[in-house]
Amino acid sequence: MAQGVWTIAEQRDGELRKITYEIVSEGRRLADVLGQEVTVVLLGSNIKDKATQLGQYGADKVLVADDARLETYTTDAYVEVISQLVRANDPAVLLIGASVQGKDLSARLSARLGVGMAQDCTAFSIEAGNLIAIRPIYAGKAYTKLTFENSLPQMAAARPNVMSISEPNASRSAEVIDATFTMDDSTLKTKVVSVIKDEGGKVDLTEADKIVSGGRGMKGPENFKILEDLADVIGASVGASRSAVDAGWRSHTDQVGQTGKVVSPNLYIACGISGAIQHLAGMSTSKVIVAINKDEDAPIFQKADYGVVGDLFDVVPALTEEAKKYLS
């Protein structure tokens, strides 16, 4: 009989990503309702020392798959190992973070396991012992409630920055177990040859607590400097709309929207962004949205918690100066 809530940890360069703590915390809440245990699967190389942290966030067990071939994420290797562990242990619920890596992994893993999967979920609950998932549809215009029929494990991917992280409990500890698995090199079709890192030093948009974004109203790439200045003061990352990226003003890694990155920061400041539905789909779950636009009829104001009708080239520098005074 399928039992237990499983989550898949995500690490990069041997460090656990924020989304890991989010889904472990959410897994703990679901497991408490079910009266079951939380097991975290941690893959990597020389990663076992990170397993103890997960107990403080609610894990009962941590299955560690430690292998040099798992040091850097590849779909082939991770799916092979995780699918073996899932089939051997038969969990009832399997949660993954819907990060860039998680979306790739969850899609292939659900196909390998032959089960349904709910992607980019913003909320979970338990009804009659079964997982219920809530996710946006129609570019965020509506939300759908999903159930899993005749599909075990019940598998879902959680949108980053949406699930709250539990306060770590230093008195809690997890049982750390060396996972048993096999990997045949001949079945691994991909290999990471090298990794070229972004040296910008900013937090990835999907994990950022605050984001300042610019659109076509920025009028050119050089004007993003005023957004960078504000971001530096308040500790934010800088994003951009698709129109700004298509114009070559910002890198595609900065794009927020349906065809870019889906973000859920605590604070999202939209500067010179009209609010096309594709952009709203990527940031509408932000906790607080501030819009700065000289067009009072811009659609972005319909989503904004606070709106400033004015020229961003006057408003943003003034906001930066006020932020400096406040934070000092």
Give the orientation angle of helix 312-327 with respect to helix 225-234, to 10 degrees. Answer: 20
Examine residue 311 and state whether it is found in any structural domain, yes or no. yes
| Interval 93-102: pLDDT, tens | 999 999 989 9
Section 104-127 average pLDDT:
95
Average pLDDT along the chain: 93
Q: pLDDT at residue 294 above 90?
A: yes
CA-wise closest residue to 265 among 286, 250, 291, 234: 286
Residue 113 shares a structural domain with residue 183: yes
Whether pLDDT at 249 is above 80: yes
* Residue where a domain stops, chosen among 187, 222, 257: 187
* 198 occurs within a structural domain: no
Strand partners, 124: 133
Please state the domain count of the chain.
2
Enumerate long-range contacts of 223-227, CB under 8 Å, 24 or more apart: 223/313, 224/249, 224/250, 226/312, 226/313, 226/316, 226/317, 226/320, 227/271, 227/316
Residue at 123 is within a domain: yes
pLDDT of residue 139 exceeding 80, the answer is no
Residue 164 near residue 122, CB atoms below 8 Å: no
Tell me, yes or no, whether 272 lies in a domain.
yes
DSSP alpha helices (H): ranges in the chain?
A: 18-34, 51-55, 75-89, 100-113, 225-234, 242-246, 277-283, 300-303, 312-327
Kindly report, residue by residue over 155-185, the tens digit of the pLDDT: 999 999 999 999 999 999 999 999 999 988 8
| pLDDT score at 191 | 84
Residues 73-91: what's their mean pLDDT? 95
Are 123 and 222 part of one and the same domain? Answer: no
- pLDDT above 80 (res 75): yes
| Same domain, residue pair 107 and 63 | yes
Q: Which of 126, 160, 187 is the last residue of a domain?
A: 187
Regarding whether 274 and 322 lie in a shared domain, the answer is: yes
Q: What percent of the chain has pLDDT over 90?
A: 83
pTM: 0.86
Which is more confidently placed, 150 or 267?
A: 267
Share of the chain above pLDDT 70, in %: 98
pLDDT band for 255, please (50, 70, 90 cuts). very high
Same structural domain, 140 and 51: yes
Query: Same domain for 217 and 159?
Result: no
Q: Could you read off the pLDDT of 43-62 as tens digits, one per residue?
A: 999 999 999 899 999 999 99
CATH number, domain containing residue 111: 3.40.50.620
231 & 163 share domain? no
Domain carrying residue 39: 5-187
d(Cα 292, Cα 314) in Å, to the nearest integer?
10
Q: Is residue 85 part of a domain?
A: yes
What was the pLDDT predicted at 200?
61
DSSP state of 291: E
Final residue belonging to a domain, choices 139, 157, 187:
187
The answer to whether residue 200 is domain-embedded is no
**161 lies in the same domain as 88:** yes
Considering the domain architecture, whether residues 42 and 178 belong to the same structural domain is answered as: yes
178 shares its domain with 233 = no
Give me the pLDDT at residue 244, please: 96
> What does the pLDDT average to over 224-242?
96
CA separation (Å) from 135 to 28, 116, 140, 147, 167?
Answer: 20, 14, 9, 11, 25
For 109-115, which contacts have Cβ atoms below 8 Å and span 24 or more sequence positions? 109/79, 109/82, 109/83, 109/155, 110/155, 112/79, 112/83, 113/83, 113/86, 113/87, 113/153, 113/155, 115/148, 115/151, 115/152, 115/153, 115/154, 115/155
Segment 13-39 shows an average pLDDT of: 95
Number of H helices, E strands in the chain: 9, 17
* Alpha-carbon span 261 to 242, nearest angstrom: 10
Domain contains 196: no
- The strand ranges marked E within 115-247 are 117-121, 123-127, 130-137, 142-147, 154-158, 175-178, 210-214, 237-240
pLDDT tens digit sequence for 272-284 = 999 999 999 999 9
pLDDT at 2: 77
Is there a domain that residue 48 lies in? yes
Going by pLDDT thresholds of 50, 70 and 90, the confidence category of residue 324 is very high
**CATH code, domain with 250:** 3.40.50.1220
CA angle 10, 12, 15 (to 5 degrees): 85
How far is residue 252's CA from residue 127's CA, in Å, rounded to a whole number?
Answer: 40
- Burial bucket for residue 47 (CB in 10 Å: 0-12, 13-18, 19+): buried
Q: Looking at the structure, tell me whether residues 152 and 14 fall in a common domain.
A: yes
Q: What is the pLDDT of residue 192?
A: 85
pLDDT at 199 over 70: no
Q: What is the mean pLDDT of residues 123-134?
A: 95
- The reply to whether 149 and 243 lie within a common domain is no
